[in-house]
Amino acid sequence: MERGIRSAQTGMLINTLLAAIKLIAGLVGNAYALVADAIESIADIFASLIVWRGVEMAGRAPDEEYPFGYGKAEALATAVVALMMLGAATGIAVEAIAEIRVPHHMPAPWTLGVLVAVMVIKWVLARRVHAVGTDIGSTAVQADAWHHMSDALTSAAAFIGISIALVGGPGWESADDWAALVAAGIIGFNGQSLLRPALGDLMDRTPGADIVDPVRRAAESVEGVCATEKLAVRKAGMTYRVTLHVQTDPQLAIRDAHIVGGKVKSAIRAAVPAAQYVLVHLEPYEGAPRHPMS
């Protein structure tokens, strides 16, 4: 949790510095692709702030007002970041098309040096943030990493566009704007790629087999469990909530059945540590027990 917050804070500081540098360089150096890149960095600042607050809120303990916890704040933060990326892509595309239709000055050669520095910084930042997001299981932090990577890609597109304009000479000035248009497409693609899983988490979509199958196997491996059914798993922030029905010997005393349920919970949490909430409902099994109680 703390690592996710620190990565968001670091991203905010770096993006603030880069946004100012790119905006000034783009305006002074007549490079609209660099200005578009600066807009992306400005969006990154707000994205990192949203991720910071989302991860922080998702880590709160359940209370009377939110008995199931605040985990959805993490998915909501991811969705907001994705929508911001789509908005930024649309704005950049509209402005780039307008600039293509209007002749303007050739970009300054020194803007290429600015872009190289930005690409390196953003690529390193994206890799580090993504590693943190993967390690703690945070889709919001991973979304922030993709936002950083989008910035690196837009810088690369701007570098190519400005280079073409400088090499081509008079008549090729619009290559810079075409690069901004390509960058908008990259940002839009990444935005919609992030939005879909975020919406899935908000709508309690079942996670993949890498989570569900270990949960089922762990439950069925417990002595006294005859069968399982109605297994439901949903993601809540960086943890999972599991509910399932366990069938056991109908001749078991209530106390023994309760022990079986407790062992099922422990087995699931051991197999999937992120499954912090497990609810087991016990039912009588009508056939012969697969794991008779000793």
Contacts of 270 (CB under 8 A, 6+ apart): 218
* Burial class of residue 273 in the structure, from the number of CB atoms within 10 Å of its CB (0-12 exposed, 13-18 middle, 19+ buried): exposed
Find the distance separating the first CA and the last CA of the chain, reported in whole Å: 42
CA distance 38 to 256: 64
For the chain, domains (ranges, CATH) are 2-202 (1.20.1510.10), 209-284 (3.30.70.1350)
In tens digits, the chain (294 residues) has pLDDT values of: 566 667 767 777 887 888 888 788 888 887 766 777 777 677 777 777 777 777 778 778 778 888 877 888 878 888 888 888 888 888 878 878 887 777 666 777 888 888 888 888 888 888 888 888 777 777 777 777 777 777 787 778 778 887 887 888 777 777 877 877 887 887 788 788 888 888 888 888 888 888 999 999 999 999 989 999 999 999 887 788 999 999 998 888 888 889 999 999 999 999 998 888 899 999 898 765 454 444
Least Cα distance to 244 among 208, 220, 272, 273 occurs for 220
Q: What is the distance of C-alpha 281 from the center of its chain?
A: 33
